[in-house]
Amino acid sequence: MKFTLCFLVLFTCVEMKKENKPNMIIDIFYDSLNANSIFFTHTSLGNAIVHEDLLKIVDVNLHPGGLCTETILEPPDNYIFTCPNGKNENLGNMLEICIIHLITNKIQSLQYIFCLESNIPSSQDFD
């Protein structure tokens, strides 16, 4: 099933390029220490980084903190983010948001996030 879906997406992207259409946009909402997100990072994201040609026809937009809740405090621009897996996940999401905004080269930012997700165990204490 996964192979079929990947092939279908790749085929669609190649056909779009033949017709000079813009890249397919894939928005991915995730959390840094979520087990499914880690699995995604180790498989799909890792494969996309290895096959850089895929990233030439697909625009991948990562959105860390997809399962977190946000509370707006007074005065404006003060926020509290609460993530399902606690403060470590909150910190991981914030680091990845910074990576996305500070590293403008898409492949490099994906490589940094892949490295971070691959090397920080969920039980790591950042205090």
**How are beta strands 58-64 and 24-30 bridged, if at all?**
parallel
Report residue 50 as tokens.
């290895």
Q: What is the pLDDT of residues 57-88, one digit of tens each?
A: 788 888 888 888 888 877 766 777 788 888 88
Exposed / middle / buried, residue 22 (Cβ in 10 Å: 0-12, 13-18, 19+)? exposed
List all residues 6 or more positions away from 79 whose beta carbon is below 8 Å from its beta carbon: 70, 71, 72, 73
Is the pLDDT at 97 greater than 50? The verdict is yes
Query: What predicted TM-score, i.e. pTM, was given to this entire model?
Result: 0.70
Q: Which of residues 105 and 19 earns the better pLDDT score? A: 105
Euclidean distance between CA atoms 53 and 55, whole angstroms = 5
pLDDT at 99: 92
Euclidean distance between CA atoms 125 and 21, whole angstroms = 46
Is the pLDDT at 102 greater than 90? The verdict is yes
Is the pLDDT at 55 greater than 80? The verdict is no
Stretch 28-43: mean pLDDT, rounded?
82
